[in-house]
Amino acid sequence: MACKPRGSSAGMEVNKSYTAAMPRFGAFTVAHAGAAVLVTGSAWLGGVALQLQQPALWSLARYGSVVAAALVALGLLAGAWWKARRLPAAVVLLVASSALAALAFGSTGLRAADRLAAVLPAALEGRDVSVTGVVAGLPQRGSSGLRFRFDVEAAQAQGAAVVLPPVLALGWYKGFHEDAALTQPQLALAAGQRWRFTLRLRQPHGNFNPHGFDSELYWFEQGVRAVGYVRDAPAPQLLTQAAGHPVERWRQAVRDGIDAHVTDRRLAGVLAALAVGDQSAIEHDDWELFRATGIAHLVSISGLHVTMFAWLAGLLVAAGWRRSSRAPLWLPVQAAA
């Protein structure tokens, strides 16, 4: 009885057809993938670096044209590759790298120009402005009161609608007396809430000292284009308890839980800093102690990493503990994790 060959003629024909239909870059093989990633990645970084060297920003329309041209070039390259199925690897890398560099240059400039255009009108500086928006992060506690980021939704000045920068950095001070305490509305302030405030705003300004901290650049990097403080009259109004920023609301809940269950204020501040990154909860004397002992960086940076590892280890231990029939009888899962 004659034996049939392993691959039938029909199967071999299917394989040949499938192989012929696969798009290929001519001599471009898997061996060139590392070089391609290096070249295109370097092109992207080069485009970003080139834009950062510009002494002055272009207009939004000009950056938009660069981005559009880069996207068109990438689209044409993809279409040519799909149609021809064979393109020289050098041509593909040259066109793709040039388009990616242009895309990086244009998109970086577009973001910077858009952020720079979001400026507080000079006519609104020092005037009362009624602003409705959402608390964008954990309110930072300090000796003078609270500081927080505020996402603007609507604003009015003397009954007329005005346009403000989308993100504000605000202070809500508790008073000038030494024994002044936070009011009930200030204690109720939390991440993710929608409020209506009466604000006094100004453009970000800072001291221009050689080798000193550039506060204006810091605010620009953070997307904050106006700073100010909350006025007590008219009274601030809490409109919605949960209006956005679910991650920040979760962090707020963890910090509130620490405050509620840890009676030692200094210990609660350190735990809040390690658990949710709320470094403002640490008292000034403790910061001085951390700096003197050389462990300030552990609290400010490594503490979050330790907390993330602790959570992951706790989840893994809990999962393994529940799979055992004897371990929960010896020690509850919650205690083991």
68-104 per-position pLDDT tens digit: 999 999 999 888 878 776 777 788 889 999 999 999 9
Cα distances (Å, whole numbers) of residue 97 to 29, 39, 74, 76, 111: 18, 7, 10, 14, 21
Task: Identify which has the larger pLDDT, 323 or 57.
Answer: 57
Structure-block tokens of residue 210 = 């050689």
**Considering only 63-72, 137-146, 288-297, which range has the smallest mean pLDDT?**
288-297
Question: Which amino acid does the sequence have at 329?
Answer: L
**End-to-end Cα separation, the chain, in angstroms:** 67
Task: Identify which has the larger pLDDT, 245 or 285.
Answer: 245
* Structure-derived torsion over alpha carbons of residues 287, 289, 295, 298, reported in degrees to the nearest 10: -30
Please name the residues in contact with 198: beta carbons below 8 A apart, sequence gap of 6 or more.
Answer: 128, 129, 130, 131, 230, 231, 233, 234, 236
Cα distances (Å, whole numbers) of residue 89 to 16, 24, 79, 95, 96: 23, 10, 15, 10, 10
pLDDT > 70 fraction of the chain, expressed in percent and rounded: 84
Phi/psi class of residue 159: alpha, beta or left (left: φ > 0; alpha: ψ in -120 to 50)? left
Phi/psi class of residue 158: alpha, beta or left (left: φ > 0; alpha: ψ in -120 to 50)? left
Q: How do residues 163-175 score in pLDDT, each as one tens digit?
A: 999 999 999 998 7
Q: What is the CA radius of gyration of the chain?
A: 29
* 228 pLDDT more than 90: yes
Q: How far apart are CA 77 and CA 153, in angstroms?
A: 41
| CA-wise closest residue to 95 among 112, 75, 111, 109 | 75
* 22 pLDDT more than 60: no
- The whole-model pTM stands at 0.73
How is 308-333 classified by DSSP, letter by letter?
Answer: HHHHHHHHHHHHHHHT-SSHHHHS-H
Confidence of residue 337 (pLDDT cuts 50, 70, 90): low
* 17 pLDDT more than 60: no
- For 134-160, what is the mean pLDDT? 92
